[in-house]
Amino acid sequence: MWILGIVLKLILAAEVCLLALALVLPADRLPAGSDLPREQSVGGWQRAAGLAGTDIFKPASVSEGANEPKLTVRGIPGDSSRPLAAEYRDGLMIREAHVDVDPQLEDEPAEVEGSDDAWWGTVRGETYLYVKRGETLVILSGLPREDLIETASSLEPVENG
């Protein structure tokens, strides 16, 4: 009976060590087979499209000074709905995910060229533009409304890399 107790304690200790390892390691350095959600920085839109698991759209037009965005894919590797975040230096934030991630925060409709549907939403005083393109929901924020509309109207598909 005492052997069973020792075995159970060893198993518990191993699980605690794995959890501590997952919390200490940077998100993009978790063990390859880990099923823990992670945040993974990505170099380039094509690579992001390959990891996101859904169609990804890149703005052809961004404001001056925006430069290249910091691209991050979040979630569990292999999941079909890993959201993508693109952060630009000028404050523009673009988040993209499978349309099943529906925020249901429609305040008023918006007119966005090339979209299947578009609407404005406000959360904690921040204005968001939600754009549905196919099975992808693109959420833009961080700029004035006119700039968000212009950026959303310039979205073009990214080939899966």
- Beta carbons of 148 and 158 less than 8 angstroms apart: no
Model confidence pLDDT, tens digit, residues 35-87 = 545 677 888 888 888 888 788 999 987 765 567 899 998 877 666 667 899 99
CA distance 31 to 25: 9
- According to DSSP, the β-strands at 126-133 and 56-59 are unpaired
Q: Is 148 exposed, middle or buried (0-12, 13-18, 19+ CB in 10 A)?
A: buried
Fold of 37-158: Phosphorylase Kinase; domain 1 (3.30.200)
- Write down the pLDDT at residue 30: 45
End-to-end CA distance of the chain: 55
Q: What is the pLDDT of residue 25?
A: 47
Q: Is 117 exposed, middle or buried (0-12, 13-18, 19+ CB in 10 A)?
A: middle
- pLDDT, position 123: 85
Per-residue pLDDT tens for 100-145?
655 566 678 999 999 999 999 988 889 999 999 998 999 999 999 9
Distance CA 26, CA 37 (A): 12
pLDDT score at 21: 45
What digits encode the pLDDT tens for the residues 91-111? Answer: 999 999 887 655 566 678 999
